[in-house]
Structure 1
Amino acid sequence: MNVTVFGATGAIGRLLVQLILDDGHQVTALVRSPDKLAFTHPRLTIVTGQLSDRDAIQQAVTGANAVISALGPSLKRSATGTQLADGTRTVVDVMREQKVSRLIGLATPSLADPRDKPHWKHKVLPVMARLMFPDALAELKGMTEAVTSSDLDYTIARITNPTNKPATGRIRSGFLGHDKVGSAMSRADIAAFLVSQLTDTRYQRAMPAISN
């Protein structure tokens, strides 16, 4: 399988690329700074560019069977703009042009899935995000809407509290108010869940919440 990865130099993205390669797939990663990826591999192709560079996105997506995005907004209060939301819209447009339908990405329970039942996270997390990280929340909403309003075959995993603990292999997933999903989750297990969605069809066009 040929998998295109966005956000490959982030904490989750680096783990994600390694897991995909370990599974024997080909990876194409769009990165601004190749040195930040910190490793090379014969099945890894690096495209240097930014999300504002449509040509670079086209180069990265061409020939892909699936796209995984580990992109997430900055939590710095000084961060402004809609670079990630705009870039995600471009990714979606290019995927449709290239007839690549499978997109796997990340969000948080600040955004609800229609399958959720009423839950405290729906009330508390959006309020906290608006107060503490308003620009990040706006970016996250824009990124998610770009995907969910498209006709792509998407899975967006909602995470609450990523940690740097070792992988446990214990992953809970489901919808708030229905399933027993907690908050904390190691980044290694988040990456493993995203990779598993390359072949798992349970959450097509859905936004499951996940945790350890």
Structure 2
Amino acid sequence: MKITIFGATGRVGNEVLQRTLAEGHEVKVLVRSLEKLPAHPNLQKIKGDVKNFEDTVQAMEQADAVISAIGTDKSTTLSEGVPNIIRAMEQLNVKRIVTIGTAGILDSRAERGKLRFQSSESKRKLTFAAEEHAKAFRALEASDLDWTIACPTYLPDGSAIGVYRTERNMLPLNGEKITVGDTAHFVYKELFQNEFKHSRVGLAY
């Protein structure tokens, strides 16, 4: 399969990249610094910015599917980049996308009609990152794409063990953490299994 990955230099994005290359897929990545990723015969690196539509289209040409692991990083890259990705996918007739979100944009158990970051379930005082992820979610929700948003809770470094809980649109009860490795494991698996199309997915042990 030909896969385009955005955010491939981040923690989860890089784990997903390594997994896709190890499985023999052809991968394109859009990065601002080419030297951040090593050379690989199945990896095509394109220098650019997801906030630039032309760069986004170039990265996605001939792709069968897209993975986005764009972070917030105290910027609007996510909320500006995801609409570009959606528009490029529509233009190029690419349907499948799996993205990385945050548990803050899952539905609240405590307050119906609210997202977790808007409710009493959230312990965070700063909501900028969650608001960025919420904008990306709403943009995907309004599209005709086959989208899935993986929403891990606290995300420490760690390898994949392949055993964790998932729940559609909510965080598994009493879920407290999931490693970077297992989040990448879910993203890669879901890209092909299509179990959670048009859903956010809470991830936790």
Give the TM-score normalised by the residue count of structure 2.
Answer: 0.89
Q: Does 1:5 find its partner at 2:5?
A: yes
Query: Hey, what's the Cα distance between the residues in 1 that align with 2:171 and 2:28?
Result: 36
Kindly tell me: are residues 178 and 72 of structure 1, through their superposed partners in 2, closer, same or farther at Cα, counting changes over 3 Å? closer
Query: Percent of aligned pairs with the same residue?
Result: 29
Cα deviation for residue 124 of structure 1 reads 3.5
Within 5 Å, give how 1:18-97 maps onto structure 2: 18-37=18-37, 39-74=38-73, 79-80=74-75, 82-97=76-91
Query: Hey, what's the Cα distance between the residues in 2 that align with 1:178 and 1:59?
Result: 35
Q: Deviations for 1:55-108, whole angstroms, at most 9, x for unmatched residues?
A: 11111111111000111212xxxx35x332111101100100000000100112
The unaligned stretches of length 5 or more in structure 1 are: none
Indicate which of 133, 139, 154 corresponds to 2:132.
Answer: 139
Q: How many residues align?
A: 200
Q: Does 1:151 find its partner at 2:144?
A: yes
Amino acid aligned to 1:56: D
Q: Does 1:169 find its partner at 2:165?
A: no
Amino acid aligned to 1:101: K
The unaligned stretches of length 5 or more in structure 2 are: none
Amino acid aligned to 1:168: I
Within 5 Å, give how 1:111-150 maps onto structure 2: 111-113=105-107, 118-119=109-110, 122=116, 123-126=119-122, 128-129=123-124, 131-132=125-126, 134-150=127-143
Structure 1 vs Structure 2 CA RMSD: 2.1
Deviates more, 1:178-187 or 1:159-168: 178-187
- Conservation of the 8 A alpha-carbon contact between 1:184 and 1:211: yes
Secondary structure, aligned partner of 2:199: coil
- Conservation of the 8 A alpha-carbon contact between 2:65 and 2:94: yes
Amino acid aligned to 2:70: L
Kindly tell me: are residues 49 and 19 of structure 1, through their superposed partners in 2, closer, same or farther at Cα, counting changes over 3 Å? same
Query: Hey, what's the Cα distance between the residues in 1 that align with 2:24 and 2:162?
Result: 20
Deviates more, 1:134-143 or 1:155-164: 134-143
- Conservation of the 8 A alpha-carbon contact between 1:172 and 1:180: no
Kindly tell me: are residues 42 and 181 of structure 1, through their superposed partners in 2, closer, same or farther at Cα, counting changes over 3 Å? farther
Query: Hey, what's the Cα distance between the residues in 1 that align with 2:44 and 2:106?
Result: 35
| Equivalent position of 1:107 in the other structure | 101
Kindly tell me: are residues 54 and 73 of structure 1, through their superposed partners in 2, closer, same or farther at Cα, counting changes over 3 Å? same
Kindly tell me: are residues 178 and 88 of structure 1, through their superposed partners in 2, closer, same or farther at Cα, counting changes over 3 Å? closer
